[in-house]
Each structure stands twice: as structure tokens, then as C-alpha cells.
């Protein structure tokens, strides 16, 4: 089976689905001739032409807003936001139109499209090329939020997203765009939205993670084996709708919970997971739920290594919770 | 902002006579249809305001004074064209064929409402006539309109999108995005700016330092024209030319209709705080319905009998619709949780069960 990286998996999913479905239109800044600043849309312009791979003016609200129009009209647009940090001018379009169109029209209209955006830190991007702002979208009813962590899941989840009936915010962990490689079959396969994956089985502690942090969780879990800890790592893959069964199953098994994300701690998605566990499985908990997260600061430049969770912080959290 | 009459298209002169060379010469049937829609919109408006004052509906944003702008523009569309109006555009809803009982079902938020009682009054949508449902956020529908037009162009269809917006909307970023994308991609979209003089309390002179709203379109590489927005034939003529251009692949246009919001911004607004009675009286004399009526009378189409018949038909349609719709029960609890997603996720199922349990406790 071919081994490819995450950015290639994005490209492959788009290319294959565009061949199958002429309703798919890619649009965004520099996605055409340039192939996108991360090369996720490389070659699509040459294969599908300027009417299907549209280089747009530099305006995120225009990109998402016009994509919504195309979707309302029955096309299947895939707008790219160059960095998730740039999505805020389009936030009104996402919250006002994209998320609510089905609901507000009483189901007369729907608005399926996939917003793709590279997100997250670890690339020396400072405030405006590093943010992990998934919680805003999780808090908006009507959106699905999907975050893959491997090339296989990237392709399978992107294909599922392209075929979904609801708007999907598809966040790509750019720190590992090229760093993580894996086997990905050519051709069609899907990974279902709303299903988590047990990335590593264990009985002592459950770590819930997604995106680039999944790999940090795996490293931390590996370090903990030296002390004989059996750490389970659950890759959430979809934040909305959350695979609550997978979360609770793991909690019931281990009774110890660490939630890992690089987004700021306060109001981050970890808070939601912690609350759900407290509501539904508190009897199984042997100790407090620990969040290992980014700090409640803007994303820093020089000190980003200190800001971001890493394997050592995860290991320390494991050791701490094992005292219970 | 300049209000000089030069370069402002007028067809019906103040005495009701047309400027012959400019008269679009609509058929008698079409003219009567426009008159019916304009008077029905006014009657609907008056009744809706009074329903709100009596506490029978929660809110209303009146259209009075803008019927010519709303109906003259929409009249230029074909049935398979699309329209994205604002919450003030009852005239568009009515002319576009949303049945009056459905409009009242929506104002009442009852279980017959197509929007299932989820939106506050005036936020209509009617897929059957390609009328996209409304968001209150000003100008947010404009990029969507451009996108629909881009979709039509991609599919090589000869359809057109019309998007209406007010003078206030021109200050929003989405106005810029929508106009800019429309210009760059030569999208078949027609923007109708209903410049009614006021964005709640802000006069249009403080909305922009531009000479006109129409000239903004020039900066996006397409034309904008100014018309007397209380002259339904002038609005129609300019809109029809714009729609025809878009249909022929010649790209977007903008029509600025200079008109006046005769009533409050909404039932929550008191315009006496920011504008004079003299101004309101002055515009009352320019009432678009009276203007069109005198034109029809001059053409021998409007007679006293015809006027009375239309008025009675309008009134009984409205009274009967309200009577009928006020009897329709509220939407069921489950409708609050449906249509958020195509398929209801576990958390909504859980919350729905919780709310239904709570309701059982109350009863």
C-alpha cells in the first residue's frame, strides 16, 4: 500500500472525489495555479480548470459566503481558509448562514459544504498562524467539526465530509502535514464521522486527544510504559458529533482521565469532555480529570515550545493521576 | 448626500403622466398584478402593525413606502430566477407568491409556519419560488447571492439572482465581499439597494461620504443607476435592464432606489426620536401607491370600482387568513430539535427527551 503524508491525503481525497462528482468546487486564496500555500490543492487546477478550482479575491467572508451560495444552489463547494487564524472575517457567514440555514428555513434549504483549514501551532507561526480555535465551531449548533490525525483518517474523513449532508469544519493539523506518514489505499474508502478510534489500548489511564496532539499523547503513553503504566489513547477524530460511547467506554475501563489539546484551556473542548464524563460516569472516576492544554494566552512566538503540550507534560500528568 | 434629481430615473411624473419615451409599456394584466401586490402589501403592513400593537404577534418591521422598490424590482425576475430579500421586504414575499396565510402563520410562529416558528417575524423563506430564507444580520445574504449566481454560471444556466439590501448594508464588509466577488467573477446577480433614508436612526447622509450609493458599484467594475424608488415603473425599468444584462452573461448591476421608510424601523422603534414630522409628511405626499394609482387612472385602468374591489379582496384575504392561522396550535417541542442536522445527534436526542420530560412535569 502506498505511504503518503497528510497533505497528500487531502490532495488525493479532493482529486478522486472531484473526478467522481462535478458538483465539487474548490475555492480559496492561492488554491489554483499555486496549489495552495501548503500545496494541498496542487495539480487540481491543471486537471479541473479555473471553473472548478477558483482563485478568489483575498476575503474570507467572500470565500465562505459565496461557497454557501453555491451550496444552497446544490453544488458541493470546498472553501479553503489559508490558516484557521484567518477565518474570523468569515465567522459571521459561518455562524449566521452556514450553521443555521437548514434550521432557520424549516428544512427547506440545506447548506452542505466542507470548510478546510490548516490549524494549530508548532510551526513558528506566532499569533496568527498557530491558533487552535475549534471550540468556537463546536459551540455553534449546526456545524460538524472533524479533525484527523493520520493520513488514512484524513482521506477517509475528508471523503465522508464531502458526502455528508451537513456543513463540516475540517481542520487539518498543519504541524504534522508532512511529518506523519502512513499507508493509505488508492481509491475509495471512508472513515465515518462521529466515530473515535482507540489509537492505543490500555487499562490505567485514558488520554483523549485529536489532531497533532494525538501523536504527543502516543509519545507520552510510550514514555509511561517504563513505569509499567498501561495508557489508553483515544483519537476523537470528530468533536461534533462526539463519540460519547467511545469516551465513556474508555473511562469505565480506566477510571482515570487526561484530556489533551493545544487550544487554550479555558472554554476549550476539553472542558466539554470533562463535563460529560462528570455527568455520565463520575462513579467510575478514581481521581480528578486532568487537562493538559495550551495556556490562556495568545499563541506566543519565541516560547511556543513552552506553550504547547508535549510528551513530558503528558507523562507528568500520567504520573500525577496514577497517585489516585 | 446629494438628493438632486438629475440622473435619477423617473417614469411616472408627479401628475401621474408617464414620460412616454421611458414607459416600459407593461400589459394591463401585469400593471394590475403590480397594483394588487402593492395595495395588498400595504394592507398586510397596516394589519400586521396593529396585530403587534394588540399583542397578537411579537414583532413587525413595516414595508410601507417601499412597495414600489420591492415590487418593481422583483417584477423584473422570471419564475426560475432566485431572490434574496431582507426582513423589510414583505412586498417581495407577496409578489413572489408566498400565500398570505403562510405569511401570517410565520408572523404568529404557529405549527403551519414553514419556518416552524423558529424565526422571529419578517424572516420569511419560500423554496417553492426560489426565495431564500432570511438572516437578520445586515448584508450577510449578499455574498450568498453572489455565490448562487456563480453556481448558475458554473452550470451554464441563464438564470439570475436578485438581492435586495438597504442603505445601511452598504457599510458592512459583506457588501464589499459580495460586490467584489460579483464583479470579479461576472456573476449574474442584480443588487437592489433600497435607500429608504434611514438605517434605524442613522440618516443615509451619515452612512457614507460617497455622492450616492450607486456610485459604489462603479468601483467594483459594474454599473449602478439611481432611480426614483417610489416610481414602480422606473424601478421596474432599471431592474429589467439589469436582469437582462445579467441573463446575457454581461455580469452584475446595482440599482439604487431612492425611497422612504414611512413607518418605524420596527415595532420596537420610535422614529420621532430622530426625524421630523415635516419630513414624514413630505414623503407621505410621494406615496408610491398613490403615484402608481394616478398613472393607472390616466391610462383608464384604475377606476373607483376597480380600486374598491381590490381593496375588499385584500381585506378579506387578510382577515380570513389571520382568523384561520390564529387557530393553528404552536409547534411541538420536538421541532425545536429537528433540522439542526440532517440526522439528530445523541446530544440533541438527550436534550429533547429532557425537555419533553420537563413539559410533562408542568402539565
Residues linked to residue A55 through DSSP beta bridges, in sequence order: A28
* B174–A103 C-beta distance less than 8 A: no
Together in a domain, A177 and A203: no
Q: State yes or no: pLDDT of A299 exceeds 90.
A: yes
Q: State yes or no: pLDDT of A125 exceeds 50.
A: yes
Quick one: average pLDDT of A238-264? 98
CA distance B170 to B165: 8
Distances (CA, A) of B347 to A195, A244, A249, B342, B354: 15, 9, 17, 14, 11
Kindly tell me the sign of the dihedral angle through the C-alpha atoms of B232, B237, B242, B246: positive
Q: Are A152 and A206 in contact, with CB atoms under 8 Å apart?
A: no
Query: Which domain, by its residues, includes A11?
Result: 3-183
pLDDT category of residue B6 using cuts at 50, 70 and 90: low
Residues linked to residue B255 through DSSP beta bridges, in sequence order: B192, B225
For residue B265, indicate whether it is catalytic.
yes
- Closest CB to B146: pick one of A66, A107, A108: A66
Q: Which three cell numbers stand for residue B208?
A: 457614507
Quick one: average pLDDT of B251-257? 98
Q: Which of B176, B178, B153, B180 is nearest to B246 (CA)?
A: B153
Together in a domain, B345 and B224: no
Residues linked to residue A119 through DSSP beta bridges, in sequence order: A173
Q: Which three cell numbers stand for residue A104?
A: 432557520
Q: Are B11 and B22 in contact, with CB atoms under 8 Å apart?
A: yes
Kindly tell me the sign of the dihedral angle through the C-alpha atoms of A224, A225, A226, A227: positive
Together in a domain, A173 and A218: no
Together in a domain, B343 and B221: no
Together in a domain, B298 and B353: no
Together in a domain, A56 and A33: yes
* B338–A107 C-beta distance less than 8 A: yes
Residues 126-145 of B with CB under 8 A from A: 126-127, 132-133, 135, 137, 140-145
Residue B336 at interface with chain A, using a CB cutoff of 8 Å: no
- Report if residue B1 sits inside a domain: no
Which residues on chain B are in Cβ contact (under 8 Å) with A164? Answer: 342
Together in a domain, B105 and B191: yes
* A103–B339 C-beta distance less than 8 A: yes
Q: Which three cell numbers stand for residue B163?
A: 438581492
Which residues on chain B are in Cβ contact (under 8 Å) with A77? Answer: 147
Q: State yes or no: pLDDT of A221 exceeds 70.
A: yes
Q: Which one is catalytic: B53, B56, B274, B334?
A: B274
CB atoms within 10 A of CB B33: 15
Residues 208-267 of A with CB under 8 A from B: 240-242, 244
Kindly tell me the sign of the dihedral angle through the C-alpha atoms of B205, B207, B213, B217: positive
Domain CATH number, residue A272: 3.40.50.920
Query: Which domain, by its residues, includes B354?
Result: 332-363
Domain CATH number, residue B19: 3.40.50.970
pLDDT category of residue B4 using cuts at 50, 70 and 90: very low
Together in a domain, A176 and A208: no
The percent helix, strand, coil of chain A (3-state, each to 5) is: 40, 20, 40
Average pLDDT, chain A: 98
Q: Are B106 and B53 in contact, with CB atoms under 8 Å apart?
A: no
CB pairs under 8 A between A and B: 150
Q: Are B217 and B179 in contact, with CB atoms under 8 Å apart?
A: yes
Residue A143: closest C-alpha in chain B: B341
Average pLDDT, chain B: 95
* B135–A100 C-beta distance less than 8 A: yes
What distance in Å separates residue B114's CA from the closest CA in chain A?
6
The pLDDT assigned to A242 comes to: 98
- At B171 the three-state DSSP class reads helix
CB atoms within 10 A of CB B51: 20
Kindly tell me the sign of the dihedral angle through the C-alpha atoms of A275, A281, A283, A288: negative
- Report if residue A192 sits inside a domain: no
The pLDDT assigned to A102 comes to: 97
The pLDDT assigned to A216 comes to: 98
- At A170 the three-state DSSP class reads strand
Together in a domain, B256 and B342: no
Together in a domain, B91 and B176: yes
Q: Which of A70, A78, A48 is nearest to B185 (CA)?
A: A70
Distances (CA, A) of B261 to B65, B120, B322: 5, 21, 25
Domain count, chain B: 2
CA distance B165 to B80: 21
Distances (CA, A) of A239 to A136, A268, A269, A292, B142: 12, 11, 8, 17, 31
Residues 6+ apart with CB under 8 A from A295: A264, A265, A307
pLDDT category of residue B1 using cuts at 50, 70 and 90: very low
For residue B274, indicate whether it is catalytic.
yes
The pLDDT assigned to B14 comes to: 80
Q: Which of B232, B212, B252, B191 is nearest to B31 (CA)?
A: B232
Q: State yes or no: pLDDT of B5 exceeds 90.
A: no
* B154–A75 C-beta distance less than 8 A: yes
Together in a domain, A166 and A220: no
Together in a domain, B336 and B298: no
Together in a domain, A175 and A285: no
The pLDDT assigned to B223 comes to: 87
- At A160 the three-state DSSP class reads helix
CA distance B147 to A73: 8
Interface with A, mutate which of B147, B151, B162, B219 (most A CBs under 10 A): B147
- At A117 the three-state DSSP class reads strand
- Report if residue B2 sits inside a domain: no
Distances (CA, A) of A292 to A145, A313, A318, B315: 21, 7, 10, 66
* B173–A194 C-beta distance less than 8 A: no
- Report if residue A288 sits inside a domain: yes
Quick one: average pLDDT of B23-34? 97
Q: State yes or no: pLDDT of A123 exceeds 60.
A: yes
pLDDT in tens, B137-192: 999 999 999 999 999 999 999 999 999 999 999 999 999 999 999 999 999 999 99
- Closest CB to B346: pick one of A62, A89, A241: A241
Together in a domain, B165 and B270: yes
Q: Which of B252, B217, B257 is nearest to B234 (CA)?
A: B257
* B342–A165 C-beta distance less than 8 A: yes
Alpha carbon B82 to chain centroid, angstroms? 13
- Report if residue B3 sits inside a domain: no
φ, ψ (nearest 5 deg) of residue B36: -60, -45
pLDDT in tens, A50-72: 999 999 999 999 999 999 999 99
Q: Which one is catalytic: B261, B291, B293, B295?
A: B261
What distance in Å separates residue B169's CA from the closest CA in chain A?
14
Quick one: average pLDDT of B22-50? 97
Burial (CB count <10 Å: 0-12, 13-18, 19+), residue B250? middle
Together in a domain, B232 and B317: yes
Cis check: omega of the bond before A241, within 30 degrees of 0: yes
Domain CATH number, residue A127: 3.40.50.970
* A110–B342 C-beta distance less than 8 A: yes
- Report if residue B183 sits inside a domain: yes
Which residues on chain A are in Cβ contact (under 8 Å) with B173? Answer: 61, 89
The number of helix segments (H) and strand segments (E) in chain A equals 12, 14
The pLDDT assigned to B361 comes to: 87
pLDDT in tens, A1-39: 999 999 999 999 999 999 999 999 999 999 999 999 999
Q: State yes or no: pLDDT of B3 exceeds 60.
A: no
Amino acid at each position: 500500500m502506498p505511504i503518503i503524508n497528510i497533505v497528500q491525503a487531502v490532495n488525493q481525497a479532493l482529486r478522486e472525489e472531484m473526478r467522481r462528482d462535478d458538483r465539487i468546487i474548490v475555492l480559496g486564496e492561492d488554491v489554483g495555479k499555486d496549489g495552495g500555500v501548503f500545496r494541498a490543492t496542487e495539480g487540481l487546477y491543471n486537471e479541473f480548470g479555473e471553473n472548478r478550482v477558483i482563485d478568489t479575491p483575498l476575503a474570507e467572508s467572500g470565500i465562505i459566503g459565496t461557497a454557501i451560495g453555491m451550496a444552497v444552489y446544490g453544488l458541493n463547494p470546498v472553501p479553503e481558509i489559508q490558516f484557521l487564524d484567518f477565518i474570523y472575517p468569515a465567522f459571521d457567514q459561518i455562524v449566521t448562514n452556514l450553521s443555521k440555514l437548514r434550521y432557520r428555513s424549516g428544512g427547506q434549504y440545506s447548506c452542505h459544504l466542507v470548510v478546510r483549514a490548516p490549524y494549530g501551532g508548532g510551526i513558528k507561526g506566532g499569533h496568527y498562524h498557530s491558533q487552535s480555535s475549534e471550540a468556537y465551531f463546536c459551540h455553534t449548533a449546526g456545524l460538524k467539526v472533524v479533525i484527523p490525525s493520520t493520513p488514512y483518517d484524513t482521506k477517509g474523513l475528508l471523503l465522508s465530509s464531502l458526502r455528508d449532508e451537513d456543513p463540516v469544519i475540517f481542520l487539518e493539523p498543519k504541524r504534522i502535514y508532512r511529518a506523519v506518514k502512513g499507508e493509505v489505499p488508492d481509491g475509495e474508502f471512508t472513515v465515518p464521522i462521529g466515530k473515535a478510534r482507540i489509537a492505543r489500548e490500555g487499562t490505567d489511564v485514558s488520554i483523549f486527544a485529536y489532531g497533532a496532539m494525538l501523536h504527543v499523547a502516543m509519545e507520552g503513553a510510550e514514555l509511561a510504559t517504563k513505569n509499567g503504566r498501561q495508557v489508553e489513547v483515544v483519537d476523537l477524530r470528530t468533536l461534533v458529533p462526539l463519540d460519547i460511547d467511545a469516551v465513556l467506554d474508555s473511562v469505565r475501563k480506566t477510571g482515570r482521565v487526561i484530556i489533551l489539546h493545544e487550544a487554550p484551556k479555558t472554554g476549550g473542548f476539553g472542558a466539554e469532555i470533562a463535563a460529560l464524563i462528570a455527568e455520565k460516569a463520575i462513579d467510575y472516576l478514581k481521581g480528578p480529570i486532568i487537562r493538559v492544554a495550551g495556556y490562556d494566552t495568545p499563541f506566543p512566538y519565541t516560547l511556543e515550545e513552552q506553550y504547547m503540550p508535549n510528551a513530558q507534560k503528558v507523562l507528568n500528568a500520567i504520573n500525577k493521576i496514577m497517585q489516585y | 448626500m446629494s438628493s438632486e434629481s438629475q440622473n435619477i430615473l423617473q417614469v411616472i411624473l408627479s401628475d401621474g403622466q408617464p414620460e412616454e419615451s421611458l414607459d416600459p409599456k407593461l400589459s394591463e394584466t401585469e400593471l394590475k398584478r403590480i397594483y394588487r401586490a402593492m395595495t395588498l402589501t400595504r394592507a398586510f403592513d397596516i394589519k400586521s402593525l396593529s396585530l403587534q400593537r394588540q399583542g397578537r404577534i411579537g414583532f413587525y418591521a413595516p414595508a410601507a413606502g417601499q412597495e414600489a422598490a420591492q415590487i418593481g424590482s422583483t417584477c423584473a425576475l422570471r419564475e426560475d430566477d432566485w431572490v434574496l430579500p431582507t426582513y423589510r421586504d414583505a412586498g417581495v414575499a407577496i409578489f413572489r407568491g408566498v400565500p398570505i396565510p403562510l405569511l401570517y402563520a410565520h408572523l404568529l410562529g404557529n405549527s403551519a409556519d414553514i419556518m416552524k416558528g423558529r424565526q422571529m417575524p419578517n424572516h420569511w423563506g419560500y423554496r417553492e419560488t426560489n426565495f431564500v430564507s432570511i438572516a437578520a444580520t445586515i448584508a450577510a445574504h449578499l455574498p450568498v447571492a453572489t455565490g448562487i449566481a456563480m453556481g448558475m454560471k458554473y452550470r451554464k444556466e441563464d438564470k439570475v439572482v436578485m438581492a435586495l439590501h438597504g442603505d445601511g448594508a452598504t457599510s458592512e464588509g459583506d457588501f464589499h465581499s459580495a460586490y467584489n466577488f460579483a464583479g470579479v467573477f461576472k456573476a449574474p446577480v442584480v443588487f437592489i439597494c433600497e435607500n429608504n433614508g434611514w438605517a434605524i436612526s442613522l440618516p443615509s447622509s451619515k452612512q457614507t461620504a460617497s455622492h450616492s450609493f450607486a456610485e459604489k458599484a462603479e468601483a467594483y467594475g459594474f454599473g449602478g443607476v439611481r432611480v426614483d424608488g417610489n416610481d414602480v415603473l422606473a424601478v421596474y425599468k432599471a431592474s429589467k435592464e439589469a436582469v437582462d444584462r445579467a441573463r446575457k452573461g454581461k455580469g452584475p448591476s446595482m440599482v439604487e432606489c431612492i425611497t422612504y421608510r414611512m413607518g418605524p424601523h420596527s415595532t420596537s422603534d420610535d422614529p420621532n426620536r430622530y426625524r421630523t414630522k415635516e419630513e414624514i409628511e413630505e414623503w407621505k405626499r410621494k406615496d408610491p401607491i398613490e403615484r402608481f394609482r394616478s398613472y393607472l387612472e390616466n391610462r383608464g385602468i384604475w377606476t373607483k370600482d376597480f380600486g374598491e374591489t381590490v381593496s375588499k379582496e385584500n381585506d378579506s384575504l387578510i382577515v380570513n387568513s389571520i382568523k384561520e392561522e390564529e387557530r393553528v396550535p404552536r409547534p411541538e417541542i420536538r421541532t425545536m430539535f429537528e433540522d439542526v442536522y440532517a440526522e439528530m445527534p445523541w446530544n440533541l436526542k438527550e436534550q429533547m427527551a429532557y425537555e419533553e420530560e420537563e413539559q410533562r412535569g408542568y402539565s
